[in-house]
A = this chain, B = another copy of it.
Amino acid sequence: MNLRIVPGLGHKDLPKYEPRQNYEPRSKYHHNPGRSGRVARNIVLSVLTLLCFVVFINDDVKSTVVGLGSSPVPGTENVYFYDLNDFEGHPNGRDHDERLLICVPLRNAEPVLPMLFEHLHNMTYPHHLTDLAFLVSDTDDNTMTVLKRLLDESLKKNAPGGPFNQGTILEKDFGQVIGQGFDDRHGVKVQGARRKLMGKARNWLLSASLQPYHTWVYWRDADIETAPTTIIEDLMKHNQDVIVPNVWRPLPEWLGSEQPYDLNSWQESGAALELAKTLDEDEVIVEGYAEYATWRPHLAYFRDANGNVDDLIELDGIGGVSILARSKVFRHGANFPGFAFENHAETEAFGKMSRKMGFKVGGLLHYTVWHQYEPSEDDLKKMKEMEEAKLKKTEKKKANKNVNA
C-alpha cells in the first residue's frame, strides 16, 4: 500500500448534507407501469420522439453560421479574440466569475432525468456562470423529449435556483450492442469494449461543447441519488486539476445497507503494473473482478462515515460518476481514451493520462456522493424469494390462526 494522504483543510466549511444510509425501495422518479403499460407508453413516446425530431432537425438550427463570441473584436467584421492565459481557474472560481461547463452523458435515461434536474437546480455554484451539455446516445426511450422540456425549464427566468446560462443537446449514436441493465453493464467480458465506447462518447460530448471561455468542466452521471448541493465549490476549493469525491451506493438492509460503488478511483500498485506487462496492449484492466487482481488501494474502501470530508489523496485512475476538472487539462490534450492507454480506457485512463501530463489528480476520502441502487438480476431473484417467503410465513400464520380459532 502506498497511500499518500494530503492533510485535510479542516472541518470549518462542511458541506450541508446527510449521506444516505438506508435504501428506499422506490423513489418518486421510478415508474413500473407493467408490461402492457410499457408497450402503450413506448408507442406514445416513439410518436412524441418522432414529432420532436421533426421540430428539432431543421436547417435553421443546424447550419446557421454562428460565432464563438456574441460580438466581434471592435473595429473588425467577424474576428473573435480570446486570451486563453486568462482561464487558468482559481480554487474560489465563483469569486472570479469563472464559467463552468457541466457535461452529462445519457443513454435511455428517461427515468432518472427528473432526479438529475432536481440536483442541478439545487446546485449552489452560480447558475448564470454555468452551461449544461448533454450527449444522448443509442437511446430508444423518451430521453430526448423529457430532456428538452427539463432543460428548457432550467434556462427560464423562473427556474428554481435561477436560470442556467445555456443548454446544448448533442445526439450521436455509436451503435453499441451492450445493454444498459446492471448485469449487461457489469460482466467482466464486455467491460473493455464498453469502457472504450464510453470514453469516445465523453470525447464527443466534450469536443462539441467546450468553449474558450469555460474554465472548469464538471462531469456528472445522471443516476446519482444523493449529493451535496455545494459539490462544485467543495471540489474546486482543493485546487486540484482533476478531483473526484468518494462514490457509494445504498443497499437494501438484507444486503448490508450500503456499499462502495465506484472502484475506478485508485492509486497504482506494483501488482497491477506487473499484471499489465502480461496483457495484450489492447486489453483493459477492470477493477473489482477476480480476473484482474491488481491489489490497488481503492478510494472507495478508505471511506470513514465520520472522517474529515476534506481529506484528500492523490489518485492515478479515476471514476466518471462525478469529476471536476480544470478545462486546461482537456485543452492540453488529456481526454477519455477510446483505446487501451496503459491497459486502461475512459475515465481511469483519463486519470493516468492527466498524471502523465503533470496534472494534479486527487480524490476525497470521506466526502461522498451516493449512486442510485439498481438491483441486479440476482438481487431481484433474492427479493422475489424473500417476498414469497414472507407471504408463505403470513399464510402459515393465518392458517395456524384459523386452526387455533
Contact surface of A with B, Cβ cutoff 8 Å: 55-58, 60-86, 97, 128, 148, 151-152, 155-156, 163, 165-173, 199-200, 203-204, 207-213, 330-333, 335-339, 353, 356-357
Please state if B338 and A335 are interface contacts (CB–CB under 8 Å).
Answer: no
Please state if B68 and A200 are interface contacts (CB–CB under 8 Å).
Answer: no
- CB nearest to A148 among chain B residues: B79
A55-B75, A62-B83, A207-B330 given. 5 additional CB < 8 A pairs? A61-B71, A61-B74, A65-B166, A78-B155, A204-B331
The contact of A333 among B70, B203, B208, B209, by CB within 8 Å, is B203
Please state if A204 and B166 are interface contacts (CB–CB under 8 Å).
Answer: no
Please state if B64 and A70 are interface contacts (CB–CB under 8 Å).
Answer: yes
Specify which chain B residues have a CB less than 8 angstroms from the CB of A204 in the assembled complex: 84, 331-332
A168, B66: Cα distance in complex, Å? 12
Q: How far does the Cβ of A232 sit from chain B's closest Cβ, in whole Å?
A: 18
Please state if B84 and A171 are interface contacts (CB–CB under 8 Å).
Answer: yes
The contact of A81 among B79, B171, B199, by CB within 8 Å, is B171
Specify which chain B residues have a CB less than 8 angstroms from the CB of A357 in the assembled complex: 338-339
- CB nearest to A203 among chain B residues: B333
Q: A200-B332, A333-B200 are known contacts. Are A68 and B69 too (CB-CB below 8 A)?
A: no
Please state if A63 and B331 are interface contacts (CB–CB under 8 Å).
Answer: no
Specify which chain B residues have a CB less than 8 angstroms from the CB of A163 in the assembled complex: 77
Specify which chain B residues have a CB less than 8 angstroms from the CB of A210 in the assembled complex: 207-208
- CB nearest to A353 among chain B residues: B339
A127, B69: Cα distance in complex, Å? 20
27 interchain pairs, CB-CB under 8 A: A55-B74, A56-B73, A56-B81, A60-B74, A61-B69, A61-B71, A61-B72, A61-B74, A62-B86, A64-B70, A65-B166, A66-B213, A73-B169, A76-B148, A79-B152, A80-B168, A81-B170, A81-B171, A82-B169, A82-B171, A85-B172, A170-B212, A203-B331, A204-B331, A207-B331, A208-B331, A332-B338
Please state if B61 and A73 are interface contacts (CB–CB under 8 Å).
Answer: yes
- CB nearest to A65 among chain B residues: B165
Specify which chain B residues have a CB less than 8 angstroms from the CB of A70 in the assembled complex: 64-67
Q: How far does the Cβ of A255 sit from chain B's closest Cβ, in whole Å?
A: 37
A10, B235: Cα distance in complex, Å? 59
A330, B206: Cα distance in complex, Å? 11
Specify which chain B residues have a CB less than 8 angstroms from the CB of A56 in the assembled complex: 73, 81, 83
Q: How far does the Cβ of A386 sit from chain B's closest Cβ, in whole Å?
A: 45
- CB nearest to A333 among chain B residues: B203
Please state if B170 and A82 are interface contacts (CB–CB under 8 Å).
Answer: yes
Among A73, A151, A173, A211, chain B packs the most CB atoms within 10 A around the CB of A73
Please state if A208 and B79 are interface contacts (CB–CB under 8 Å).
Answer: no
Please state if B82 and A62 are interface contacts (CB–CB under 8 Å).
Answer: yes
Among A81, A86, A148, A167, chain B packs the most CB atoms within 10 A around the CB of A81
The contact of A168 among B82, B86, B97, B335, by CB within 8 Å, is B82
Specify which chain B residues have a CB less than 8 angstroms from the CB of A97 in the assembled complex: 63
Q: How far does the Cβ of A204 sit from chain B's closest Cβ, in whole Å?
A: 5
Specify which chain B residues have a CB less than 8 angstroms from the CB of A211 in the assembled complex: 66, 68, 208
Q: A332-B338, A333-B335 are known contacts. Are A156 and B77 too (CB-CB below 8 A)?
A: yes
